[in-house]
Chain A
Amino acid sequence: MTLAHYMTVSSLLFLIGIFGALTRRNIIGVLMSIELMFNAANLNLAAFDRFLHPSGAVGQTLAIFTMTVAAAEIVVGLALLLAIYRNTDTTYVEDFNLLKG
């Protein structure tokens, strides 16, 4: 198991996350894809820490912080989602055009 393996896995995860975020019609799916990209980043952090600085645990620590922040972010996201759903009665992204200016 070298660093390359980890990076390959994390890249795939990231790409899947991007793809999902760009293509999913359901907002829940978009949020899940975003979680995938978070986790790809976390995996990178942990892997770089493990291979480049084996003695320390800064990367892992940072990964845990990221998970925390991600959890909080998901909370905010779901809360917004609920609010939008109540107003528009839909969870499809293409129906949301509040940003149109």
Chain B
Amino acid sequence: MIEHAYLIPLIPAAASFIILFGAKEDPHSPLPWIGIGAMAICLAMAASILWGFAAGTVALPYEQNWTWFSFATTIGGSSFVYPMSAGVLIDPPAALVLFAVTLVSLMVQVYSISYMHDDKRYKRYFAFVSFFTAAMLGLVVSSNLLVTFMCWELMGVTSYLLIGFWFERTGPNEAQKKAFMTTKLADSGLYLALLLIYVKVGSFQMTQIYQFFNHGYMPAAAATVCGLGVLFGAMGKSAQFPLFIWLPDAMEGPTPGSALIHAATMVAAGILVVSKLFFVFLAAPVAMEAAAWIGLATAFLAASMALVSYDIKRVLAFSTVSQLGFMMCALGCGGYTAGLFHLTTHAFFKALLFLGAGSVIHSVHTNDMRLMGGLSKKMPITFVTMLIAVYAINGLPFGAGYYSKDMILAAVWNHSHAIFWILLVAALMTAFYMTRLFALTFLGDDRDHEKFHHAHESPALITVPLIVLGFLSAFSGAGLAHHGFIDKVLPAPTIAVQPGAAPSASAMSEAPSAETRPVPAVGTPTPSASRIDSESSVVAREKSGEKREEAELPSWLSLTVIALVIAVTLLSAAMYTGPKFAAAEWLRSTFAPAVTVLDNRWYLDAAFLALVALCDQVAALAFWIDDKVVDRVFVDGWGLLMRLFAELSNFLDISLVDAVVDGFGGLSKDVVGEGLRSLVVDGQVQEYLMYAAIAFALSATLILTR
């Protein structure tokens, strides 16, 4: 099965084209089932790969490449024909992510059949979703960074299309532009990082780049720049501080589309690329530290913003941002396994939360949680599955989020205690606002009787995906953590030699010499390099061994965390369940300034707008300078100078040169010409003859006396 892994992204892509071009738009078109079928095939393939790996029948990592095109190039002073390969590289993390992505996408599509049934662009929506998933799958399986980047950009385009799906309205229109431009700004960082990697390594192949870093050939400064560039790209795609401004607005799109963006595809891509290029970060401690702090800021700020919002989808969007901050922070603290583990479990429960929220919105036709309440009586299946999801995301014991978040906290604890405490506060805030969301929506009494009266349980096409995802949210954490399976699936990559440890001069001269296929010394390491390899890999192994041993929270701390989470959950439930919200109202009025700041999202949007306005002002100033100073002084001034010069030249020409010319003309006409004319004016033949004779005599004399 795995030899056909290249089909995993291609099948949904083909399906999306069939859906898009296959038939006319029709609100009851059967074509979306093609996308669902395609995704089911992909899910089966991904599941077979993951299952085969777990059972030991499939060897991972699996790589297969085809030559895409080749071109002549010069790298490191030597010229050669570089064959650009494209292919699949499936390592265990990729297999796990493939499974999660295909499953979530399948669920989202099944759900959308019912959710989108009345939309006039029903078919187009499914084409977008299929294509979106295809791009994400391509990003996961690609062995070539350039192809990865291509899929990354395709995802950017498709997210633009999905967020602005109802483009007739102003909100989605603005949101799609905001998302596209913010992520594009970040993409520039990733692109520059890729270019730098290519310039240094001479290849886009993941394995070759890894070997290059593994042997420490990459200079430390270049590695740092690469790491920061990749991080910047991920900051945009995965909505990290301060570029997360687009994600809360992105929920203007259809809710299942939001589920896909938030859970499986778009935002996961940033984390995934960081994890794919984790060795770059290992070689660049500065970038690693930056990732940790940016993730921390994201987790904290987004969680705090979610505390006060009343829009159910907006709370979920902030929660996504916050959870992505957790993952980024974990990666930055060296918790590779923890970060990706959380990515997987988060995909399940966040998809479930969004689909559940969609089910609620579908039922009551509002996003405002103040108008909901008591829906547990009306929507039992949604209620139970949402309960599982909230249980999971809160990190309550034995839910999916419990294992991954515990792992993150452990990784962070080992890295820095300061980060740990701030992240713990963010985790407690998560528990608080998710419980608040749940209590406001499902518990207590109905607040808007009319909406409550019309509320109803959603049809089977909506509830079945909820149940499947609920099952996964409940058991995926425990299942993956069982017997340390997650450590086997997601082994933290290491690099043997830190940059600077290897003599960089010899490395740089040796790396291009191993080229033609620039495989930097995979097969034939030089003696010196291999010696350094063995020495430092021993050191690295010892270090990682130490870390592995203490990658657990101290038991007292672990129990404290669990106790705190339970306490906060109960507190929040108590505050927001009852018919009166005395405590909540009291908090809101007491801390009104803080609430205002949070309501305005820490003024980050305003800050970005101000930044744009400032740039606009600067551009206007620059234009003014160009128009009034540069053009006036240099261009116009130069022109004026030239004109004056030309006038002067013209004057000289007329008064001097022409005068001389005219003078000679006049001289020859008036003096010589008239003089000669007066001599022969009589018409006397004999005079003519005499002149002829004189002329003849003169010329004869001249000739003869020569």
Interface residues of B in 526-578 (CB under 8 A from A): none
How many B residues touch A, CB cutoff 8 Å? 10
Is there a chain A Cβ closer than 8 Å to B689's Cβ?
yes
Which A residues touch B681, using CB under 8 A? 100
**Which single member of B683, B690, B693 contacts A99 (CB below 8 Å)?**
B683
Alpha-carbon gap, A75 to B147, bound state (A) = 110
**Which single member of B683, B685, B688, B693 contacts A18 (CB below 8 Å)?**
B693
Alpha-carbon gap, A22 to B688, bound state (A) = 9
- CB atoms of B693 and A97 under 8 A apart: no
Interface residues of A in 8-35 (CB under 8 A from B): 18, 21-23, 30
Interface size class on chain A is: 10 to 19
Alpha-carbon gap, A93 to B690, bound state (A) = 14
A96 — nearest CB in chain B belongs to which residue? B685
- CB atoms of A101 and B683 under 8 A apart: yes
A11–chain B nearest beta-carbon distance, Å:
12
**0 or 1 for each of A84-101: is its CB under 8 Å from B? (1 = yes):** 000000000110111111
Alpha-carbon gap, A99 to B680, bound state (A) = 10
Interface residues of A in 29-79 (CB under 8 A from B): 30
Which A residues touch B705, using CB under 8 A? none
- CB atoms of A93 and B693 under 8 A apart: no
- CB atoms of B683 and A94 under 8 A apart: no
Interface residues of B in 628-686 (CB under 8 A from A): 681-686
Which A residues touch B688, using CB under 8 A? 99
- CB atoms of B683 and A93 under 8 A apart: no
B690 — nearest CB in chain A belongs to which residue? A22
**Which single member of A22, A100, A101 contacts B686 (CB below 8 Å)?**
A22
Alpha-carbon gap, A89 to B11, bound state (A) = 124
A27 — nearest CB in chain B belongs to which residue? B685
- CB atoms of B690 and A97 under 8 A apart: no
Which A residues touch B684, using CB under 8 A? 93-94, 97
Alpha-carbon gap, A21 to B684, bound state (A) = 12
Which B residues touch A94, using CB under 8 A? 684, 686
Alpha-carbon gap, A93 to B688, bound state (A) = 12
Alpha-carbon gap, A21 to B687, bound state (A) = 10
B509–chain A nearest beta-carbon distance, Å:
97
Beyond A18-B693, A22-B693, is A97–B682 a contact (Cβ under 8 Å)? Answer: yes
B690–chain A nearest beta-carbon distance, Å:
5
A5–chain B nearest beta-carbon distance, Å:
21
Which A residues touch B682, using CB under 8 A? 97, 100
Which A residues touch B685, using CB under 8 A? 93, 96, 99
**0 or 1 for each of B212-251: is its CB under 8 Å from A? (1 = yes):** 0000000000000000000000000000000000000000
Which B residues touch A22, using CB under 8 A? 686, 689-690, 693
B677 — nearest CB in chain A belongs to which residue? A101
- CB atoms of A100 and B689 under 8 A apart: no
A34 — nearest CB in chain B belongs to which residue? B689
Which B residues touch A99, using CB under 8 A? 683, 685, 688
**Which single member of A21, A30, A98 contacts B683 (CB below 8 Å)?**
A98
Which B residues touch A100, using CB under 8 A? 681-683
Alpha-carbon gap, A80 to B689, bound state (A) = 18
Alpha-carbon gap, A67 to B635, bound state (A) = 85
Alpha-carbon gap, A18 to B694, bound state (A) = 11
B83–chain A nearest beta-carbon distance, Å:
93
Alpha-carbon gap, A100 to B681, bound state (A) = 6
B693 — nearest CB in chain A belongs to which residue? A18
Alpha-carbon gap, A22 to B693, bound state (A) = 9
Which A residues touch B683, using CB under 8 A? 96-101
Alpha-carbon gap, A22 to B685, bound state (A) = 9
Which B residues touch A101, using CB under 8 A? 683
Alpha-carbon gap, A22 to B684, bound state (A) = 11
A50–chain B nearest beta-carbon distance, Å:
24
Alpha-carbon gap, A61 to B689, bound state (A) = 29
Alpha-carbon gap, A2 to B582, bound state (A) = 159
Alpha-carbon gap, A18 to B681, bound state (A) = 22
A90–chain B nearest beta-carbon distance, Å:
14
B644–chain A nearest beta-carbon distance, Å:
51
Alpha-carbon gap, A23 to B686, bound state (A) = 8
Alpha-carbon gap, A97 to B686, bound state (A) = 11
A19 — nearest CB in chain B belongs to which residue? B693
Which B residues touch A98, using CB under 8 A? 683
Alpha-carbon gap, A93 to B685, bound state (A) = 7
Alpha-carbon gap, A98 to B685, bound state (A) = 9
A95 — nearest CB in chain B belongs to which residue? B684
B683 — nearest CB in chain A belongs to which residue? A100
Alpha-carbon gap, A18 to B689, bound state (A) = 9
B469–chain A nearest beta-carbon distance, Å:
119
Alpha-carbon gap, A99 to B687, bound state (A) = 11
A91–chain B nearest beta-carbon distance, Å:
13
Alpha-carbon gap, A79 to B17, bound state (A) = 110
A95–chain B nearest beta-carbon distance, Å:
10
Alpha-carbon gap, A92 to B681, bound state (A) = 18
Alpha-carbon gap, A15 to B473, bound state (A) = 140
Alpha-carbon gap, A99 to B691, bound state (A) = 15
Alpha-carbon gap, A95 to B638, bound state (A) = 73
B704–chain A nearest beta-carbon distance, Å:
13
Alpha-carbon gap, A97 to B681, bound state (A) = 10
Which B residues touch A93, using CB under 8 A? 684-686
Alpha-carbon gap, A101 to B686, bound state (A) = 16
A99 — nearest CB in chain B belongs to which residue? B683
A69–chain B nearest beta-carbon distance, Å:
20
B687–chain A nearest beta-carbon distance, Å:
9
Alpha-carbon gap, A99 to B682, bound state (A) = 8
B697 — nearest CB in chain A belongs to which residue? A18
B556–chain A nearest beta-carbon distance, Å:
135
Alpha-carbon gap, A8 to B192, bound state (A) = 108
Which B residues touch A30, using CB under 8 A? 686
Alpha-carbon gap, A100 to B682, bound state (A) = 6
Which A residues touch B689, using CB under 8 A? 21-22
Alpha-carbon gap, A22 to B692, bound state (A) = 11
B223–chain A nearest beta-carbon distance, Å:
101
Alpha-carbon gap, A94 to B682, bound state (A) = 9
B468–chain A nearest beta-carbon distance, Å:
121
Alpha-carbon gap, A86 to B543, bound state (A) = 142
Alpha-carbon gap, A14 to B610, bound state (A) = 113
B128–chain A nearest beta-carbon distance, Å:
99
Alpha-carbon gap, A101 to B683, bound state (A) = 7
B111–chain A nearest beta-carbon distance, Å:
114
B428–chain A nearest beta-carbon distance, Å:
124
Which A residues touch B690, using CB under 8 A? 22
A18 — nearest CB in chain B belongs to which residue? B693
Alpha-carbon gap, A21 to B689, bound state (A) = 8
* 18 A-B pairs with C-beta separation under 8 A: A21-B686, A21-B689, A22-B686, A22-B689, A22-B690, A22-B693, A30-B686, A93-B684, A93-B686, A94-B686, A96-B685, A97-B682, A97-B683, A97-B684, A98-B683, A99-B683, A99-B688, A100-B681
Q: Which residues of B contact A (CB under 8 A)?
A: 681-686, 688-690, 693
Closest 10 CB pairs between A and B?
Answer: A100-B683, A97-B683, A99-B683, A22-B690, A22-B686, A93-B686, A22-B689, A18-B693, A21-B689, A93-B685
| Known interface pairs A21-B689, A93-B684, A100-B681; 6 further A-B residue pairs with C-beta atoms within 8 A, sorted by A's residue number | A22-B686, A22-B689, A94-B684, A96-B683, A97-B684, A101-B683
